[in-house]
Structure 1
């Protein structure tokens, strides 16, 4: 072993530190338009240097939250604080906040460099400082070679980076991104997600992104707020949102999941067991303390947590029997749709470590699925 002690890895989790002061605070914020409530008594803290995602279906209120942060809308009730200051009386152009729209809103007649410089010139920054800042931003987004081109002379992904550079040029405390990658094709969108993360880390700017793309939120965010009908259903890290959903809604909204409803037959510390179908084994998963025997509950288990066998596995507590109804080949993995004798369909995903010709399981085969007692979560709401 080396004589030099390795420094401990610092985990970024200010939300777990009771001494940490939030950069953004929504305090009992409600937003109404007539009889319609877009945001319903919402409270949330967002910390400096977070990459925070607001995730939910269309109409859930995530864009309204962002517009209130930017100053384009005002709360009907409650307060929004940035750095401890109530921002209600501060107009949008005076806030230390910038917003990047899905359309990018670049000026077509200006070069890449002049687009980046636009806000700096309006603020009457000295010319030498503007030049230095443009160079810094071009380097950050790796577009130095394209400084003199017009927006129509560069690709969609490059225009997205110009819009990002322009948004960051004034060094805002907070950058709001409204579906920023929605106009890009899937491959470019995936590549750009990592670029966004890298830029956010380099600048230390707090990013708040609005998206309905679950994969995008899971990739870029330090924490995700899952929203529905103007309320935040769960705020957590991507890993906890996926592995430890606190409601059926969150489990079902994020990724692919099997939902198996049954009656709770017994509970032990941290686990609950459900009886769900005649002729099938009872199933056990992780559970909170409010799950009680005799109640109705739903076991949520991800398809990739399930193993699939051609004969009944031994010494497995969670076993489901059925037959192969369908198979979807996805290249790196295959999804098997298994139909139980009662007609319920359950998905299992298996990595394709063998070539197709060597597979053992095919349509109509009788199979057994199994998963560990920590793979699924038993939910009652």
Structure 2
């Protein structure tokens, strides 16, 4: 599902499935959530992303019904859900630990919630088989949780959560226990399942790569506040603050003072003895205003000679090299002591590197490569 065809948040007529309105949550004298407002739409795969203690799990627990807001309200499908007990909400939650019953088979684990709802035997069997097929677990139906792998247990927990066809599924760090390779595979499975069922998924994660991979939109949180809510590409390419730029992916942050230099173009004075930088921005900066230029390492070109026509070029020497197989990141130290990272794709299979430690190099980038931020 490409974002271009699915963007209910851009439609003023679209009604959100979930609406947080000025929600405050306090625990004693500690405020975990500060007057937070947020809309999440049907069929979204929405990610709450942030470091530990930023309030993302508190938001999820309020949606699930384990906590109530201190102030403000939370609506689900247009109804205020404050005071509605967890088992009476059209919401299911998948826990990080999966919380499977060890003594029950995979089949019975999935059937557990349906049995409690007194579903007829025929309907129940059909629904469990449908869930097994959806999560590709048919072969493991008679096994117990300890007889299957971590990735398979994760799928059982997902199948059990989806069996009751909730309007909303909450996933709390669902892939945290899986190794990197399996986690990547499972991310695509989750997206596939979410699309097939049409259920709205809200995932809580501190793993930026995970949020950027699975989500239709991401909410970056810090200390109980929403810093930015946008599609993954906007969060990456157009962060609205140094915090978001720094939290998502790898970035160079250069602090300086801005002064206007024509249409949406600014001169950035940033370091004694270094030529000023040129950057474009639709945000207005006053003359001499402190600014931060955020540039992704892959947008910085490294070369042995000074490029003739670059808007921005600085000289330094290679301080460190991180070789990641498909990419090499060069940490280049400027005469001021500042380190700037440049990344190159290793497209050819060669044993030697273009640059090595202590080599003098030039770094260059275009005026539009970075984002000029006020804070």
Normalised by the shorter chain, which TM-score bucket?
A: over 0.9
1:185 to 158, 161, 179: 179
Give the secondary-structure state (helix, strand or coil) at the position aligned to 1:251: helix
Contact 2:294 2:373 in 1 (8 A): yes
Q: Residue in 1 aligned with 2:365?
A: 371
Give the secondary-structure state (helix, strand or coil) at the position aligned to 2:166: coil
Instruction: Give matches, 1:141-290, under 5 Å.
Output: 141-290=135-284
**CA-to-partner distance for each residue in 1:343-378, whole Å, 9 max, x for gaps?**
000111111123443433111111111112221001
Deviation at 1:207, TM superposition (A): 0.2
CA distance in 2, matches of 1:269, 1:183: 50
Deviation at 1:318, TM superposition (A): 1.2
Give the secondary-structure state (helix, strand or coil) at the position aligned to 2:96: coil
Contact 2:68 2:83 in 1 (8 A): no
Contact 1:267 1:291 in 2 (8 A): no
Give the secondary-structure state (helix, strand or coil) at the position aligned to 1:53: strand
Tell me which moved more, 264-273 or 68-77. Answer: 264-273
Q: Residue in 1 aligned with 2:309?
A: 315
CA distance in 2, matches of 1:185, 1:39: 31
Q: Residue in 2 aligned with 1:29?
A: 23
Change (3 A) 1:268 1:142: farther
- Aligned-pair Cα RMSD in Å: 1.3
CA distance in 2, matches of 1:327, 1:24: 46
Q: Residue in 1 aligned with 2:12?
A: 18
Q: Residue in 2 aligned with 1:349?
A: 343
CA distance in 2, matches of 1:328, 1:98: 42
Contact 1:261 1:276 in 2 (8 A): yes
CA distance in 1, matches of 2:109, 2:198: 22
Q: Residue in 1 aligned with 2:39?
A: 45
Contact 2:65 2:83 in 1 (8 A): no
Give the secondary-structure state (helix, strand or coil) at the position aligned to 1:142: coil
Contact 2:259 2:267 in 1 (8 A): yes
Change (3 A) 1:49 1:286: farther
Q: Residue in 2 aligned with 1:73?
A: 67
CA distance in 1, matches of 2:145, 2:263: 60
Give the secondary-structure state (helix, strand or coil) at the position aligned to 2:351: helix
Instruction: Give matches, 1:320-339, under 5 Å.
Output: 320-339=314-333
CA distance in 2, matches of 1:191, 1:132: 27
Deviation at 1:9, TM superposition (A): 9.7
Q: Residue in 1 aligned with 2:288?
A: 294
Contact 1:31 1:37 in 2 (8 A): yes
Deviation at 1:305, TM superposition (A): 0.7
1:121 equivalenced with 2:115 (yes/no): yes
Q: Residue in 2 aligned with 1:5?
A: none
Q: Residue in 2 aligned with 1:136?
A: 130
TM-score (norm 2): 0.97
Contact 2:260 2:285 in 1 (8 A): no
CA distance in 2, matches of 1:25, 1:100: 21
1:84 equivalenced with 2:78 (yes/no): yes
CA distance in 2, matches of 1:267, 1:88: 53
Contact 1:267 1:293 in 2 (8 A): no
CA distance in 2, matches of 1:34, 1:85: 28
CA distance in 2, matches of 1:298, 1:174: 39
What is the number of residues matched between the two proteins? 374
